[in-house]
Structure 1
Amino acid sequence: MRSNSRFRTAALAATALLAALSLTACGDTDGNADKTGAAAPAGSTASSGTGKDTEGAGTEDQARNASSASEGKSGDKGGDTAGAKNSTGSDTGRKSSAGSTGNTGSPVTCTGDNTKVTISKVSRPINHLLLTATNTGSRPCYAYNAPALRFDDAQSVFPVLRSSVPQAVVALEPGQSAYAGIGLFGESDGQDLYEGTDLTVYFTPRSNSGSTGSPTELKLPADTRWGDNGFVTYWQSDMAVALTY
């Protein structure tokens, strides 16, 4: 009986030992599982590290993109600045162009107040004088019709040659001149000739009625003789044309 009891006790002890060993083995397995489980976050960290590398690359790309964008903006600003300069240059060109036109105001009538009038003797045609009126004002002026001439103390003005009417009214910019030819006397014989010393030049208005502005008093060239059947041409823009009559 005692032998059986001892045997049972030994058997129970052996069974308990096996159970303890079994539990230890399970504990080791669980430990390994825990270690494996801990390795997973480590693997995740590595993946996260890879993610950081990718993020770093993305940051570099963003930096490059930002740099490109910045350069683009700088280029845009430079373009705007250049455009502004061109625009300013264009404005300046327009101002210069306006200045070149003189922009001296609307034209006025040529008179003795805004012109300098001179008279000279010419060799051809014979018995002719040339009258020149130069615009000395700051505005353009129109030399209307023909000058009205009075020799010395004559009772009437000199005859005007109607066939010399120009195609257009002579317009003078400041500094430009108009010309009128004076035929001192006609070709017929037996006409009376007068020794001339002074000449008064009157300017006529557009209406060709009366005179306008101040007249100009001139001294005639020496030995000037004039007759009642002489003539004066209309104002011409070309000296040669004024002397063809």
Structure 2
Amino acid sequence: MRNARIRTTAVAATALLAALSLTACQSDDDAKNPGASVSPTADRSKPAADPTSTPAGNGKGNGGSSSGSAAGAGKSKDKDESKDKGKDNSDPGPGPVTDACSGANTKVTVSKVTRPINHLLLTVTNTGSKACNAYHAPLLRFDDAQAVTQVMEDSRPQAVTTIAPGESAYASILLSSADGSGKDGYTAKRLTVHFAPRSGSGSTGTPVGLALPAGTYADSTTAVSYWQSSMQDALTY
């Protein structure tokens, strides 16, 4: 019986020594390899958190203040650009000329020319303080004629003739054809000049009455050109 107890005690002591030896070995391995002590249940697929980062949306820390500064700078830039655009828009310039020339803002004269033959030159000068448009062709009536003088359609300019203050525009008047094909000839004494509106329908503003040069002979072929920006252009028709 005594021997059995001794054996049991010896076995227990041996087992204890073995356990202590195993524990010591594991402690040494852990010291050499710290990663081995990580719990097997830990999720190693997730990256380690950066202690210097700030969670999105909290508006605090370095990340929050940097984002706010960028937004503020963007708004400031947009505001400055808006101001600049506003300055540009506040000075649109003189804008397009829309006023029609008429007897109220111009002076009209008529004169005889040597070349081309059988022609008169009509000159309109802007006496106003701003530019006006000499639309289409002048509307002419010789003496008590019931209809206005026909217009030379081939003299239409590429753009509306605009007259600046103090400047002039011109139109030529063909009194009679050189080949003598005209009919119902007569000596005219007076000329009434009406101005066309932008639409070209009817007349606009105040008409102008002029005395014609002595011996002005007109017939059925009488015609007038469109308003031209130069005398030379007008006298080519």
Scaled by the length of structure 1, what TM-score is found? 0.56
Q: CA deviation at 1:108?
A: 1.0
Task: Deviation per CA, 1:121-174: give whole Å up to 9, x if none.
Answer: 000001000000000001110000000000001111000000000011000110
Cα distance change of structure 1 residues 226 and 190 upon mapping to structure 2, 3 Å threshold: closer
- Equivalent in 192, 205, 216 of residue 224 of structure 1: 216
Quote the Cα distance in structure 2 between the aligned partners of 1:159 and 1:188: 18
Structure 2 residue aligned with 1:6: none
1:140 paired with 2:140, answer no
The answer to whether the 8 Å contact 1:107/1:139 transfers is no
1:210 paired with 2:196, answer no
Q: CA deviation at 1:190?
A: 5.9
The answer to whether the 8 Å contact 1:104/1:138 transfers is no
The answer to whether the 8 Å contact 2:135/2:196 transfers is yes
Cα distance change of structure 1 residues 191 and 140 upon mapping to structure 2, 3 Å threshold: same
Quote the Cα distance in structure 2 between the aligned partners of 1:233 and 1:217: 18
Q: CA deviation at 1:189?
A: 3.1
Quote the Cα distance in structure 2 between the aligned partners of 1:113 and 1:105: 20
Q: Which runs of 5+ in 1 are unaligned?
A: 1-97
Structure with a larger share of its residues in helix: 1
- Secondary structure (helix, strand or coil) at the match of 2:189 reads strand
Structure 2 residue aligned with 1:128: 119
Cα distance change of structure 1 residues 114 and 189 upon mapping to structure 2, 3 Å threshold: same
| One-letter amino acid of the structure 2 residue matched with residue 201 of structure 1 | V
Q: CA deviation at 1:106?
A: 5.1
The answer to whether the 8 Å contact 1:150/1:201 transfers is yes
Q: CA deviation at 1:105?
A: 9.3
The answer to whether the 8 Å contact 2:135/2:197 transfers is yes
Quote the Cα distance in structure 1 between the aligned partners of 2:166 and 2:235: 21
Structure 2 residue aligned with 1:193: 185
Quote the Cα distance in structure 1 between the aligned partners of 2:207 and 2:182: 32
Cα distance change of structure 1 residues 232 and 105 upon mapping to structure 2, 3 Å threshold: closer
Number of residue equivalences: 145
Quote the Cα distance in structure 1 between the aligned partners of 2:182 and 2:222: 14
The answer to whether the 8 Å contact 1:104/1:139 transfers is no
| One-letter amino acid of the structure 2 residue matched with residue 237 of structure 1 | S
Cα distance change of structure 1 residues 132 and 146 upon mapping to structure 2, 3 Å threshold: same
Larger Rg: 1
| One-letter amino acid of the structure 1 residue matched with residue 203 of structure 2 | S
Q: CA deviation at 1:228?
A: 1.6
Quote the Cα distance in structure 2 between the aligned partners of 1:132 and 1:200: 13
Q: Write the mapping of 1:86-97 to structure 2, written as runs, cut at 5 A.
A: none
- Equivalent in 225, 228, 236 of residue 236 of structure 1: 228
Q: Write the mapping of 1:72-83 to structure 2, written as runs, cut at 5 A.
A: none
Aligned identity (percent) is 57
CA RMSD of aligned residues (A): 1.9
| One-letter amino acid of the structure 2 residue matched with residue 229 of structure 1 | T
